[in-house]
Structure 1
Amino acid sequence: MATKKKQLFSSAPQGGSGMMPWLGIATIVILLDQLTKIAIQKTFVFGEEKVITTFFNLVLAYNKGAAFGFLNSQPGWQRYFFTGVAVIAVGFILYMLKRHGGQRLFCWALALIMGGAIGNAIDRLAYGHVVDFLDFHIAGLGHFPAFNIADSAICIGAALFVFDELRRVNRQ
């Protein structure tokens, strides 16, 4: 078990592991993201909210902008801009996965980010906006902007990327 854990978090190239595991992880993220968005859209109407706990709701929200609703009120150019950014990011991530396929934690991070980017790009192309539905809040302090599985994967991937870089720097 310790060996498996060590392999998962190993930053040393493992040679020959290829891109398929990472593409598989990205595909799982995309599928989970799209399935949850479809379920929410079939269950809720826009703006509808269902209280789950004292700090969490499900809500159907649309985001035409970027993270935290940045540029949400713009007339529509952001749909194509952020789709283009996602396409460029995915191309770069594929290049990095090919070059560093054996660096497990680094590739986990990239695969999660890629899956999230593709999941949100699908929304932008299909609907003109990203479907968000996870709504966390603190009583009296307000709501965190609604988000989705793709956003979560991107954030987790970014955190893993930072963690991997810190470990790599500390080893040198």
Structure 2
Amino acid sequence: MKSFLRAGVGGLVLLVSLAVAAYSFYQLARAGNCASGGVYVSQRECPAGTARWAFALPISLIAGILGVFLLGAGLRGGAPEPPAPDDVTAGPRPARRYAVPAEQAAGMIRLLSLHQAAADEPPAPAGDPLARLERLRALLASGALTPAEFEQAKARILGGL
């Protein structure tokens, strides 16, 4: 209800300020070229009320901008409410536990075992693709690599020849 009221007030302010700005502009245009006296040479004096319309025009434009902001805030639902403080705000928060799907967990375990196997073995010479392919075959046989991962790694090794 509060946002509906804010949008209504904003729309009303916007419409009234646009009407006042349009009428002020009309009155100033109708007055034409005039001067209020002083050092300026003019053919005629400004009609009564010209200063009032000259002052009303920028004020109504500023009020229109305010109306646009009120209307936008009302249509958007207003400012978001700050979250309510929970009863345990002092000290470190407990760690959250995340559920990991079984397929993703199995993939993580395979990657960790692949990393461990690579760390345990002495590094094969980088220029010896046959030794690298043999090591890949051993990892495939041990179950550390899936056939798809094996094919990708084999393609990389053979592509580097």
The TM-score, its normalising length taken from structure 2, stands at 0.30
Normalized per residue, the structure richer in strand is: 1
The TM-score, its normalising length taken from structure 1, stands at 0.29
Give the structure, 1 or 2, with the largest relative contact order (CA under 8 Å, sep 6 or more). 1
Max Rg structure: 2
